[in-house]
Structure 1
Amino acid sequence: MVWTACPRTTRTSKLSRPSTTTTSVAATTTQPGPRPITTRTTKNMIDTQTHDKLMAMKLTAMAEAFLELQKEAPSHQRSFAEKLGYMVDQEWTARENRRLSRLLRAAKLTSDASLEDVWTTPGRGVAKATIRELATCKWIEHHHNVICVGKTGCGKSYISAALAQAACRRGYGTLYSRVPRLVEEIAIARADGSYPRLLARLAKLQVLVLDDFLLAPLKDTERRDLLEILEDRYDHSSTVIASQLPTDKWHAALGDPTIADAICDRVVHNAHVLILEGQSGRKRKGLNTNT
């Protein structure tokens, strides 16, 4: 029996089936990225921060001037020094106006008087040169006083108020008060315990206007209070006094010879005296009624 070798069958390896998976290209939607920061955007951010910082430092006028300069046309651009000077000028002017308004309110003026409007007609008793000299406020720098005397309506109160306004415009702390009301305030202060504080406040004033001085007889306590006020102010500040009585009659009107000597000595000897004459200003402004 013959054995025959069978041909060897080789097992074919199973071939890997090609992948039928298809790569689907997803539709990609482009998302908008952050806007690029341009030079103009950066400048606007810096300008806003600068404005906010100026406002935080309470430089309001300078901040407004800064915004105003940003709106200027390129053809009208100023130099850096001009822009800085303009902003500083705006801030300085605004602060001066606020200070003047504050001083005028504290002065309690009863009229909008001005030295430029003072009548200097012949026979009035006051010359233009005198008014121009008083307008310089050098009398305040030298701690001098001003006394206005004359009949009713001749303009004593007006000139006193005008001097007070001129002092405010120069930056001096000022108060306008009628003597009859001032002595009432002093009496109230004495009763409620604020008398020392009132005297201290009056002493700190650089200009004190006392209108209607000796319009009525003063009591003993009122004379002494007036002496205390004038004593605290002597050679340190200036006082403006308006009175119907000439200075040579003050001694008799004050009553007490000792206090009268002390008051006159502290007021009259270093004072510019204006003796006003002429007809009443109220009569000139009044209605001309011929009956």
Structure 2
Amino acid sequence: MGAASCCEAHRLRKPCEIKTELSGDWLNQGPLTPSTVSPTPGAAMSPSWDRMSSRVPHDPEHELEWSIVADSIDEDELFKLRELHQVLQDCELHPTCRRKPLHRQAQTLLRFLRARDGDVLKAERMFRDMLEWRHTFDVDGKVHSWRRELERHRTRRARLCKRFAIEEQICNDKHGIPVRLLRLGVADSAGMIREFGQEAILVDSLSKLEWTHEQIRNAMFRCRKLIRGQIQILDVGDYGDVPNWTGRMWNNLRLGPDIYKVFDGNYPETVRKVFIISHPAHIR
């Protein structure tokens, strides 16, 4: 769910009390799929680049991104961001950055800087660890294969995964970023691991995270504004149609931390705001 510092937990009694930043025309939009991408952001030039060029690194392919980020943060944070960018330039030789130049993306670097409260050395270490993890685990390859497996709908685990999915993109917020609903109250973590295996559960979650961050970046270029994560709604309600709510929730708490460590260490600033709904009276 991303770093806790990036989230605001709002405890609400029922879904109708939620006041989110939802757009009015989301119902008219097409389905959300990983193939939906925006035009190359580097193709457009920021109108404020002339005054911005002295404040940010010279990188023609990423000048729009740098100008958006620089306009969105204060000078102290921009100074640290440039420092982080400078110490990571040797990462261009890393296999992960050869595929996608993450070390040159201002918004990506800022997420890691903020995840370490502005400490450049800690942010550098976190970023390098992330690059190595992505390469060693083959994130891009496994996510691509998993998406194809789900699309083809031929394997048993693909059919079960779709049938018992607890996550859904229910609409878009005013920036066009998908709002994510997680129905934890009907989740069965132990059963999912038993049926699919822990790695498949992890890769499915990584696929959703990769998609989410693509949309956050697309929204930044579209709105010319830095946007810190997405809205998530956690529904922990016990509606009686799935038995053993207490046992399943304990399993979620027991098995979740190992996966969340992967999320927090490699996908900071995923969540902007969290709403918790339908929780029982004894845990309010």
* Common topology (TM > 0.5): no
- TM-score normalised to structure 2 length: 0.25
- TM-score normalised to structure 1 length: 0.25
Q: Considering fraction of residues, name the structure with more helix.
A: 2
Larger of the two Rg values belongs to structure: 1
